[in-house]
Structure 1
Amino acid sequence: MSTSTKEKRVVAVVGATGRQGGGLVRSILEADDGFAVRALTRDPESPQAKELAALGVELVVADLDDARSVEAAFSGAYGAFCVTAAQEHPPERERAHAATMAAAARAAGLAHVVWSTFEDTRAFLPPGDERMPVLHGEYRVPHYDAKGASDAEFRGVPTTFLRTAFYWENLLDGGGPARDEDGVRRLALPLGSARLPGIAVADIGRCAYAILRRPDLAGRTVSITGENLTGAELAAAFADVLGEPVRYEDVPLEVLRSLGIPQAAELANMFRFTQDFETAYAGARDPAEVRKLHPGLLTFRRWLTERNPR
Structure 2
Amino acid sequence: MSQQQIIAVVGATGAQGGGLVRAILADRSGRFAVRALTRRPDSARAEELAALGAEVVEADLDDVAGLRKAFDGAHGAFVVTNFWEPRTPEEERARPATTKEREQAGNAARAGQEAGVRHFVWSTLPDTRGYFRPGDGTPTFEGTYKVPHADAKAEADRFFLESGVPTTFLHANVYYEAFQDMFAPRRDERGALVLPLGFGDARVPAQAAEDIGRTALGIFRRGEVLAGSRVSVAGSVLTGAQYAAALGRALGEPVTYQAVTPDEIRAAGFPGAGEVGNMLQYLSTAERDIVELIDGELLRELNPELQSFDTWLAAHRDAIPR
Q: Is the pair's TM-score, using the shorter chain for normalization, greater than 0.5?
A: yes
Specify which of 226, 241, 246 is matched with residue 235 of structure 2.
226
Aligned counterpart, 2:156: 150
> What do residues 246-282 of structure 1 show as CA deviations (whole Å, max 9, x unaligned)?
0000012222111234511111011000011111112
* Deviation at residue 308 of structure 1 after TM alignment: 2.4
> What do residues 225-261 of structure 1 show as CA deviations (whole Å, max 9, x unaligned)?
1111100000000000000010000012222111234
* Deviation at residue 176 of structure 1 after TM alignment: 1.1
* Deviation at residue 58 of structure 1 after TM alignment: 0.8
SS in 2 for 1:304: helix
> What do residues 141-169 of structure 1 show as CA deviations (whole Å, max 9, x unaligned)?
11111111111100122110111211110
SS in 1 for 2:272: helix
Specify which of 76, 86, 108 is matched with residue 101 of structure 1.
108
Quote the Cα distance in structure 2 between the aligned partners of 1:171 and 1:131.
30
SS in 2 for 1:214: helix
Quote the Cα distance in structure 2 between the aligned partners of 1:36 and 1:288.
27
Relative to 1, partners in 2 of residues 1:70 and 1:252: Cα closer, same or farther, differing over 3 Å? Answer: same
Identity rate, percent: 47
Could you tell me which amino acid in structure 2 is paired with residue 95 of structure 1? R
State which drifts further: 29-38 or 231-240. Answer: 29-38
Could you tell me which amino acid in structure 2 is paired with residue 81 of structure 1? F
State the superposition RMSD in angstroms: 1.4
Could you tell me which amino acid in structure 1 is paired with residue 100 of structure 2? R
Query: In the TM superposition, what are the counterparts of 1:1-310 in structure 2 within 5 Å?
Result: 4=1, 6-32=2-28, 33-88=30-85, 90-125=97-132, 128-130=134-136, 132-155=138-161, 156-215=164-223, 216-309=225-318
Conserved? CA contact 2:138–2:278, under 8 Å: yes
Could you tell me which amino acid in structure 2 is paired with residue 12 of structure 1? A
Conserved? CA contact 1:227–1:287, under 8 Å: no
> What do residues 16-68 of structure 1 show as CA deviations (whole Å, max 9, x unaligned)?
00000000001100004210110111111110011111112111111111111
> What do residues 77-115 of structure 1 show as CA deviations (whole Å, max 9, x unaligned)?
111000000111711101111001010111112111100
* Deviation at residue 131 of structure 1 after TM alignment: 5.8
* Deviation at residue 133 of structure 1 after TM alignment: 2.3
* Deviation at residue 132 of structure 1 after TM alignment: 3.9
* Deviation at residue 134 of structure 1 after TM alignment: 1.0
Could you tell me which amino acid in structure 2 is paired with residue 52 of structure 1? L
TM-score by length of 1: 0.95
State which drifts further: 77-86 or 169-178. Answer: 169-178
Could you tell me which amino acid in structure 1 is paired with residue 12 of structure 2? A
Could you tell me which amino acid in structure 2 is paired with residue 60 of structure 1? V
Could you tell me which amino acid in structure 1 is paired with residue 199 of structure 2? L
TM-score by length of 2: 0.91
Point out 4+ residue stretches in structure 1 off by more than 6 angstroms. Answer: none
Conserved? CA contact 2:25–2:53, under 8 Å: no
Quote the Cα distance in structure 1 between the aligned partners of 2:292 and 2:137.
21
Could you tell me which amino acid in structure 2 is paired with residue 55 of structure 1? L
SS in 2 for 1:120: coil
* Deviation at residue 283 of structure 1 after TM alignment: 2.4
Unmatched tracts of structure 2, length 5 or more = 88-96
* Deviation at residue 292 of structure 1 after TM alignment: 2.8
